[in-house]
Amino acid sequence: MSIPEKHSFQAEIQQLLDIVIHSLYTDREIFVRELISNAADACEKLRFLQASGQAIVDPDAPLLIQVKTDEKEGTVRFIDSGIGMSREDLVENLGTIAHSGTKAFLKGLAEEKRADAKLIGQFGVGFYAAFMVAEQVTVESRPHQPDGVACRWVSQGTTGYELEASSRPQRGTEIALKLKSDAATYAQESTLEAIIRRYSAFVPIPIELNGKRLNTVQALWTRNRSEIKEDEYNEFYQFLGHDHQPALLRLHFTADAPLAIQSLLFVPQTNFESMGLGRMESEVNLYCRKVLIQSKAKHLFPDWLRFLRGVVDSEDLPLNISRETMQDSSLMQRLNKALTGRFLKMLEETAEKDPETYRKFYGEYSRFLKEGVVTDAAHKQGLGKLLRYESSALDAGVHTSLADYVKRMPADQKEIYCLLATSRESGLSSPFYEVFAARKFEVLLLQDPWDEFVVEHLDRFDDKPLRLAEKADLDLSDKPSSGLSDEQAGALARWMKETLGEKVNEVRLSKRLLDSPVLAVDSNKYMTASMRRMLRSAKRDAGGLEASKSDFEFNPAHVLLAQLDALRQKDAALAGKVAEQLFDNARIAAGLLEDPREMLKRSNQLLTELLAAKQA
Ligand code: ADP
Ligand code: MG
């Protein structure tokens, strides 16, 4: 037995240890991730040396990471058959914080221009995470050289460490933690199993916990697309997405610049929010070299892409960074931008090459795209390309993109017209549609109440303004012949304004009605009936929405108006009632009448008078 040799930590180490132990990491459990990552790195390094023909002790010993817990003793051990550390390595790598042996190794490789080994560590503090949970850490290591000498390193993570000779025969490193009393849970097999599965499920070296193999699923995203079978993708998705159905869409892509990204993303068959299961949470996990950094990573995608599931792996992420720092880092924003752009491009390609699948996707997820248009200014134009609507120019059930609509626009049409309607039929029979039919302008039939906000926020597509049909400033090209002279029509308008009084804002002769007698629009240029309804229901309790005022348009060419004009000379009282009823009819058609009670009463009176006149 040799006598242990005492060493003090490097000068700044006390301070740095304090930071690592108390504030660098938010979750104590990540010490498991760090020690396993180091073990995996050590194995990868060995594999590399072996491949480059170096002499290695126990060349046939398999590369393996073993984790062993002892609840009674309150210990957990991490054992690997990797590269190992000599006495000098131990002093250098573990006695010096922020000295990363991995970095030195990579630098050595780079100098040899063979920097192809895939290693996790870069930052040089991961090992010290062990002291968050351990009152004592013992590292026993046998380096890989055939003549290597084993050594033991022991520390309480306070002032320094002790070194002594070791009789460990097998290649590699064993790190034993004597857990602090408040960290006893980490000696429990079930606790450790959950942690390893969470962070290290895809580490490419086999991991055994108390003899049981834990990581059996491959990190599929790091493999070459052309070598992966459909079944493998399905299996992976089901493992990752906890979904019994295969995914609806998949995006597997790799980028080197400006960021190194490997990503495998899935869209589930079903939109789980539509099933009333509440708001979904993004289930995309962020990895760095196959090691989990953040599960359900926030800010990796915009909120409206929260239906995605999958994996994003970026070598550019520093592994040892804590969660808080990740979130505001500009790196995250750059990842977000690159990933979102790529995903939108994939949707566009799908729409083009596989319309059937795109239709399914749109059926499930159109609301998310619309949410994106409204909330994400950076992507709204890209999202505009993905919207689909029924159109007056196409058969029922057929959807068009805005791009195709624009292609069909005649030269004299300057705007994209959108008609809000509860159904295709009601849209096409609405008085607002008449002017478009007459001028042969195509109208998109928007049937989702959200579409009004989409039109408002998207504002234009391909430089063409999007215009709600009811707000369009369009005249019929040929004025229909009228039973009323201009003068008579003008007098009728003035009389109507007098008769309707405060209820109406403005009465005018319509230039857009062909078959309908009357039409009403909200006087507020920026307000529509459906928006008013939505605001009203949102403000029901606050009660603060100003009452709606409508403009009233009538069609002087319509026979009803000529008859009304004649009636008002003979029976002004009856004509007044008819005018009020016409105004209410127009407001009903436009969805602007809030309280129908007065209208119903009047309508019954008019019917009574009609029947009485018939019987007379
Ligand atoms: P990093 O992994 O970022 O380099 P760590 O603090 O995690 O920093 O580890 C410091 C160094 O200690 C590593 O770079 C590596 O050289 C060495 N090391 C740690 N654990 C092992 C191990 N199990 N086998 C071999 N070397 C190790
Ligand atoms: Mg490390």
pLDDT digits (tens, 9 = 90+) for 553-587: 999 999 999 999 999 999 999 999 999 999 999 99
In a 3-state reduction of DSSP, which class is residue 390? strand
Which of 20, 33, 35, 41 for a ligand 1 pocket mutation test, highest count of atoms within 8 Å of Cβ? 41
122 lines ligand 1 (CB under 6 A): yes
pLDDT for 109-157, tens place per residue? 555 544 444 444 444 568 888 998 999 999 999 999 999 999 999 999 8
Whether 185 and 31 have beta carbons less than 8 Å apart is answered as: no
Q: For residue 246, is the peptide bond before it cis, meaning its omega torsion is within 30 degrees of 0?
A: no
How far apart are alpha carbons 379 and 462 in whole angstroms? 14
pLDDT for 461-515, tens place per residue? 999 999 999 888 888 877 777 778 889 999 999 999 999 999 999 999 998 998 8
Residue 127 CA to ligand 1 center (angstroms) comes to 6
Whether 521 and 551 have beta carbons less than 8 Å apart is answered as: yes
How far apart are alpha carbons 236 and 242 in whole angstroms? 10
123 lines ligand 1 (CB under 6 A): yes
CB atoms within 10 A of CB 616: 5
Q: What is the CA radius of gyration of the chain?
A: 37
174 lines ligand 1 (CB under 6 A): no
Domains for the chain: give ranges and CATH numbers: 5-213 (3.30.565.10), 220-340 (3.30.230.80), 387-471 (3.40.50.11260), 486-615 (1.20.120.790)
Please name the residue whose Cα sits nearest to atom 18 of ligand 1.
Answer: 38
How far apart are alpha carbons 293 and 285 in whole angstroms? 8
Provide the residue type at 570 as one letter.
K
| Pairing relationship of beta strands 399-400 and 134-142 according to DSSP bridges | unpaired
In a 3-state reduction of DSSP, which class is residue 258? coil
Above 80 in pLDDT, residue 179? yes
80 lines ligand 1 (CB under 6 A): yes
Above 90 in pLDDT, residue 181? yes
Where do runs of H (alpha helix) occur along 52-188?
Answer: 87-89, 101-111
Residue 595: what pLDDT?
A: 86
Residue 148: what pLDDT?
A: 95
In ligand 1, the atom with minimum distance to the C-alpha of 102 is 14
Residue 319 CA to ligand 2 center (angstroms) comes to 8
Full strand arrangement of the beta sheet holding 550-554? 504-509, 550-554, 518-522
In ligand 1, the atom with minimum distance to the C-alpha of 39 is 23
- Name the token pair of 407: 């292609």
Q: Quick one: average pLDDT of 16-24?
A: 68
Please name the residue whose Cα sits nearest to atom 8 of ligand 1.
Answer: 124
CA angle 395, 430, 537 (to 5 degrees): 105
95 lines ligand 1 (CB under 6 A): no
Name the CA dihedral angle for 55, 58, 63, 67, rounded to a multiple of 10 degrees: -130
How far apart are alpha carbons 511 and 93 in whole angstroms? 84
How far apart are alpha carbons 616 and 613 in whole angstroms? 5
pLDDT for 502-554, tens place per residue? 999 999 999 899 889 999 998 887 777 777 777 777 665 545 556 678 999 99
Whether 266 and 313 have beta carbons less than 8 Å apart is answered as: no
